[in-house]
Amino acid sequence: MPGYQGDVYREQGGRKLVIGGVGLPRGFNALSDRYELRWVAGQRGKPSLNADILSATEATREIADPDFEVLGTNSTSALSTFNAEGGIKITTAGADGDEMIILPHLDANQSAWAQITWGTDQETRWQCHLKTGSNITNTIIWAGLKLTNTEVTATDNDQVFFRYEDDVNSGKWQAVSSVGGTDTATDTAIAAAVNTEMRFHVLIGSDRRAQMWMNNTRIKTTGALTDATDLIPYSGVAADGAAAAKHIIAFGQAISRKYA
Protein backbone atom coordinates (compact mmCIF):
# COMPACT_ATOMS: atom_id res chain seq x y z
CA MET A 1 0.00 0.00 0.00
CA PRO A 2 1.57 3.32 -1.01
CA GLY A 3 1.89 6.07 1.58
CA TYR A 4 0.00 9.32 1.57
CA GLN A 5 1.49 12.70 0.81
CA GLY A 6 3.01 14.07 4.00
CA ASP A 7 4.04 10.70 5.40
CA VAL A 8 7.38 10.49 7.20
CA TYR A 9 9.38 7.34 6.58
CA ARG A 10 12.09 5.58 8.54
CA GLU A 11 14.09 2.58 7.48
CA GLN A 12 14.22 -0.24 10.05
CA GLY A 13 15.48 -3.75 9.45
CA GLY A 14 15.25 -3.30 5.70
CA ARG A 15 11.58 -2.33 5.91
CA LYS A 16 10.08 1.09 5.34
CA LEU A 17 7.86 2.22 8.24
CA VAL A 18 5.37 5.06 8.27
CA ILE A 19 5.90 6.95 11.54
CA GLY A 20 4.11 10.20 10.92
CA GLY A 21 1.82 12.09 8.60
CA VAL A 22 -1.66 10.92 7.71
CA GLY A 23 -0.77 7.37 6.67
CA LEU A 24 -1.61 4.36 8.83
CA PRO A 25 1.28 2.54 10.56
CA ARG A 26 2.42 -0.49 8.61
CA GLY A 27 5.39 -2.80 8.27
CA PHE A 28 5.55 -3.89 11.92
CA ASN A 29 3.49 -5.63 14.58
CA ALA A 30 1.68 -2.90 16.54
CA LEU A 31 0.89 -5.19 19.48
CA SER A 32 3.39 -5.87 22.23
CA ASP A 33 4.65 -9.41 22.75
CA ARG A 34 3.79 -8.97 26.45
CA TYR A 35 0.52 -8.44 28.32
CA GLU A 36 0.70 -4.85 29.60
CA LEU A 37 -1.36 -2.59 31.85
CA ARG A 38 -0.84 1.07 32.68
CA TRP A 39 -2.61 3.08 35.37
CA VAL A 40 -2.55 6.88 35.42
CA ALA A 41 -3.75 7.85 38.89
CA GLY A 42 -6.91 9.92 38.66
CA GLN A 43 -7.53 9.40 34.96
CA ARG A 44 -10.67 7.33 35.55
CA GLY A 45 -11.70 8.40 39.02
CA LYS A 46 -10.10 8.10 42.43
CA PRO A 47 -9.35 4.90 44.36
CA SER A 48 -12.13 4.49 46.92
CA LEU A 49 -13.33 1.86 49.35
CA ASN A 50 -14.26 -1.37 47.60
CA ALA A 51 -17.97 -0.96 48.37
CA ASP A 52 -18.13 2.30 46.40
CA ILE A 53 -17.71 0.58 43.03
CA LEU A 54 -21.06 -1.21 43.65
CA SER A 55 -22.84 1.66 45.36
CA ALA A 56 -26.43 2.33 44.32
CA THR A 57 -25.66 6.04 44.66
CA GLU A 58 -24.48 7.21 41.26
CA ALA A 59 -22.43 10.10 42.64
CA THR A 60 -20.46 7.61 44.73
CA ARG A 61 -20.12 4.85 42.13
CA GLU A 62 -19.17 6.96 39.12
CA ILE A 63 -16.19 8.69 40.73
CA ALA A 64 -14.63 5.44 41.99
CA ASP A 65 -11.58 4.23 40.06
CA PRO A 66 -12.51 0.95 38.29
CA ASP A 67 -9.07 -0.60 38.70
CA PHE A 68 -7.80 0.36 42.16
CA GLU A 69 -9.33 0.73 45.61
CA VAL A 70 -8.11 1.84 49.04
CA LEU A 71 -8.15 0.03 52.36
CA GLY A 72 -6.28 0.02 55.65
CA THR A 73 -6.84 0.96 59.29
CA ASN A 74 -9.37 3.82 59.45
CA SER A 75 -9.22 4.33 55.68
CA THR A 76 -12.12 6.11 53.97
CA SER A 77 -12.95 7.15 50.43
CA ALA A 78 -12.86 10.80 51.52
CA LEU A 79 -9.16 10.44 52.36
CA SER A 80 -8.41 9.70 48.70
CA THR A 81 -8.49 12.97 46.76
CA PHE A 82 -7.39 14.44 43.45
CA ASN A 83 -4.09 16.29 43.65
CA ALA A 84 -4.32 19.59 41.80
CA GLU A 85 -0.82 19.15 40.38
CA GLY A 86 -1.61 15.65 39.09
CA GLY A 87 -2.20 12.24 40.61
CA ILE A 88 -4.11 11.06 43.66
CA LYS A 89 -3.31 12.07 47.25
CA ILE A 90 -4.00 9.47 49.93
CA THR A 91 -3.95 10.68 53.54
CA THR A 92 -4.19 8.76 56.80
CA ALA A 93 -7.00 9.63 59.22
CA GLY A 94 -4.80 11.23 61.88
CA ALA A 95 -4.22 8.59 64.57
CA ASP A 96 -1.14 6.48 65.24
CA GLY A 97 -1.37 3.26 63.21
CA ASP A 98 -3.74 4.64 60.57
CA GLU A 99 -3.11 3.45 57.00
CA MET A 100 -4.08 4.18 53.42
CA ILE A 101 -3.23 1.42 50.95
CA ILE A 102 -3.76 1.36 47.17
CA LEU A 103 -4.40 -2.07 45.64
CA PRO A 104 -6.21 -3.63 42.67
CA HIS A 105 -9.96 -4.08 43.19
CA LEU A 106 -10.81 -7.19 45.17
CA ASP A 107 -14.15 -7.84 43.44
CA ALA A 108 -14.07 -10.72 40.97
CA ASN A 109 -13.97 -9.67 37.31
CA GLN A 110 -13.67 -5.98 38.19
CA SER A 111 -10.12 -5.29 37.03
CA ALA A 112 -7.44 -7.04 35.00
CA TRP A 113 -4.94 -5.77 37.57
CA ALA A 114 -6.35 -8.38 39.96
CA GLN A 115 -7.66 -11.03 37.57
CA ILE A 116 -4.43 -11.51 35.63
CA THR A 117 -1.68 -13.35 37.50
CA TRP A 118 1.66 -11.61 37.94
CA GLY A 119 3.81 -14.66 38.48
CA THR A 120 7.45 -15.02 39.38
CA ASP A 121 7.66 -17.46 36.46
CA GLN A 122 6.23 -15.01 33.91
CA GLU A 123 9.02 -12.40 33.75
CA THR A 124 6.77 -9.91 35.48
CA ARG A 125 7.83 -6.26 35.35
CA TRP A 126 6.34 -3.55 37.56
CA GLN A 127 6.95 0.14 38.04
CA CYS A 128 5.47 2.80 40.28
CA HIS A 129 5.74 6.59 40.43
CA LEU A 130 4.84 8.39 43.65
CA LYS A 131 5.77 11.44 45.72
CA THR A 132 6.49 11.57 49.43
CA GLY A 133 4.49 13.88 51.69
CA SER A 134 5.43 17.16 53.30
CA ASN A 135 6.05 15.46 56.67
CA ILE A 136 7.61 12.00 56.71
CA THR A 137 8.53 11.85 60.39
CA ASN A 138 6.79 8.95 62.14
CA THR A 139 5.83 7.61 58.72
CA ILE A 140 6.02 4.30 56.88
CA ILE A 141 5.81 4.19 53.07
CA TRP A 142 5.91 1.02 50.99
CA ALA A 143 5.41 -0.04 47.38
CA GLY A 144 6.03 -3.22 45.44
CA LEU A 145 4.93 -6.76 44.66
CA LYS A 146 3.70 -8.75 47.65
CA LEU A 147 1.32 -11.49 48.76
CA THR A 148 -0.51 -9.28 51.29
CA ASN A 149 -0.93 -5.55 51.77
CA THR A 150 1.07 -5.25 55.00
CA GLU A 151 4.20 -3.12 55.27
CA VAL A 152 5.76 -5.52 57.79
CA THR A 153 8.95 -7.00 56.38
CA ALA A 154 8.62 -10.52 57.77
CA THR A 155 5.01 -11.33 56.88
CA ASP A 156 4.98 -12.50 53.25
CA ASN A 157 7.03 -15.58 52.39
CA ASP A 158 7.61 -14.18 48.91
CA GLN A 159 7.79 -10.47 48.04
CA VAL A 160 9.85 -7.76 46.34
CA PHE A 161 9.13 -4.25 47.57
CA PHE A 162 10.55 -0.91 48.72
CA ARG A 163 10.09 0.40 52.22
CA TYR A 164 10.80 3.53 54.26
CA GLU A 165 10.36 3.96 58.01
CA ASP A 166 11.83 7.03 59.64
CA ASP A 167 13.41 5.22 62.60
CA VAL A 168 14.65 2.17 60.64
CA ASN A 169 17.92 2.08 58.69
CA SER A 170 18.62 5.70 59.68
CA GLY A 171 15.68 6.88 57.60
CA LYS A 172 17.01 5.46 54.34
CA TRP A 173 14.92 3.46 51.89
CA GLN A 174 15.24 -0.33 51.98
CA ALA A 175 14.83 -2.83 49.17
CA VAL A 176 13.08 -5.80 50.76
CA SER A 177 12.90 -9.27 49.24
CA SER A 178 11.68 -12.57 50.63
CA VAL A 179 12.19 -16.00 49.11
CA GLY A 180 10.39 -18.92 50.72
CA GLY A 181 10.22 -17.10 54.04
CA THR A 182 13.83 -15.90 54.09
CA ASP A 183 13.74 -12.11 54.35
CA THR A 184 16.44 -9.68 53.22
CA ALA A 185 16.33 -5.91 53.73
CA THR A 186 19.01 -4.13 51.69
CA ASP A 187 20.13 -0.59 52.46
CA THR A 188 19.59 1.48 49.31
CA ALA A 189 21.80 4.29 50.69
CA ILE A 190 19.05 6.67 49.52
CA ALA A 191 17.75 8.88 52.30
CA ALA A 192 14.04 9.61 52.19
CA ALA A 193 13.13 13.27 51.80
CA VAL A 194 9.92 15.27 51.88
CA ASN A 195 8.05 16.20 48.70
CA THR A 196 10.27 13.95 46.59
CA GLU A 197 9.25 12.00 43.51
CA MET A 198 10.24 8.34 43.60
CA ARG A 199 10.27 5.82 40.78
CA PHE A 200 10.41 2.14 41.67
CA HIS A 201 11.01 -0.73 39.25
CA VAL A 202 10.98 -4.49 39.74
CA LEU A 203 12.12 -6.59 36.79
CA ILE A 204 11.84 -10.36 37.23
CA GLY A 205 13.96 -12.27 34.74
CA SER A 206 13.52 -15.68 33.16
CA ASP A 207 15.68 -17.07 35.98
CA ARG A 208 13.16 -15.63 38.52
CA ARG A 209 15.82 -13.28 39.89
CA ALA A 210 14.40 -9.79 40.45
CA GLN A 211 16.26 -6.60 39.71
CA MET A 212 15.18 -3.77 42.02
CA TRP A 213 15.63 -0.19 40.77
CA MET A 214 15.05 3.20 42.40
CA ASN A 215 15.11 6.39 40.33
CA ASN A 216 16.93 4.62 37.49
CA THR A 217 19.59 3.17 39.79
CA ARG A 218 19.80 -0.59 40.23
CA ILE A 219 19.85 -1.30 43.95
CA LYS A 220 20.04 -5.08 44.06
CA THR A 221 19.36 -8.36 42.31
CA THR A 222 17.63 -10.99 44.40
CA GLY A 223 18.11 -14.71 44.46
CA ALA A 224 15.68 -16.84 42.47
CA LEU A 225 12.15 -16.21 43.71
CA THR A 226 9.87 -19.13 44.54
CA ASP A 227 8.56 -20.61 41.28
CA ALA A 228 5.00 -19.89 40.10
CA THR A 229 4.18 -17.47 42.92
CA ASP A 230 1.59 -14.86 41.96
CA LEU A 231 2.30 -11.42 43.43
CA ILE A 232 0.07 -8.35 43.82
CA PRO A 233 1.04 -4.67 43.48
CA TYR A 234 0.54 -2.73 46.71
CA SER A 235 1.53 0.77 47.79
CA GLY A 236 0.67 2.61 50.96
CA VAL A 237 1.40 5.06 53.75
CA ALA A 238 0.97 4.68 57.51
CA ALA A 239 1.36 6.86 60.58
CA ASP A 240 3.81 5.25 62.99
CA GLY A 241 4.29 6.61 66.49
CA ALA A 242 2.41 9.87 66.21
CA ALA A 243 -1.21 11.01 66.07
CA ALA A 244 -0.85 12.97 62.86
CA ALA A 245 -2.09 12.62 59.28
CA LYS A 246 0.47 11.36 56.76
CA HIS A 247 0.16 11.29 52.98
CA ILE A 248 1.73 10.32 49.68
CA ILE A 249 0.78 11.23 46.13
CA ALA A 250 0.39 8.42 43.59
CA PHE A 251 1.05 9.30 39.94
CA GLY A 252 0.71 5.87 38.39
CA GLN A 253 1.81 2.28 37.93
CA ALA A 254 2.57 -0.07 35.05
CA ILE A 255 2.85 -3.83 34.95
CA SER A 256 3.47 -6.48 32.31
CA ARG A 257 4.18 -10.18 31.91
CA LYS A 258 4.92 -12.57 29.10
CA TYR A 259 2.12 -14.54 27.52
CA ALA A 260 2.03 -18.13 28.72
Same domain, 25 and 80: no
Specify the CATH number for the domain of residue 149: 2.60.120.200
Domain that holds residue 8: 1-30
Same domain, 149 and 41: yes
Backbone angles phi, psi at 123, to 5 degrees: 55, 45
pLDDT at 29: 64
Same domain, 64 and 41: yes
pLDDT at 28: 58
Same domain, 90 and 183: yes
CA dist 157 → 8, 121, 145, 147, 201 (Å): 52, 16, 12, 8, 20
How many structural domains are present in the chain? 2
Q: 11, 17, 69, 25: which is closest to 45 by C-alpha?
A: 69
Same domain, 174 and 83: yes
Taken as a whole, the chain contains a residue count of: 260
Same domain, 10 and 111: no
pTM score above 0.85: yes
List, run by run, the mean pLDDT of 10-residue segments along the chain (260 residues): 42 50 56 94 98 95 97 98 98 98 94 98 98 98 98 95 98 97 97 98 98 97 97 98 96 96
pLDDT at 147: 98
Same domain, 62 and 123: yes
pLDDT at 9: 42
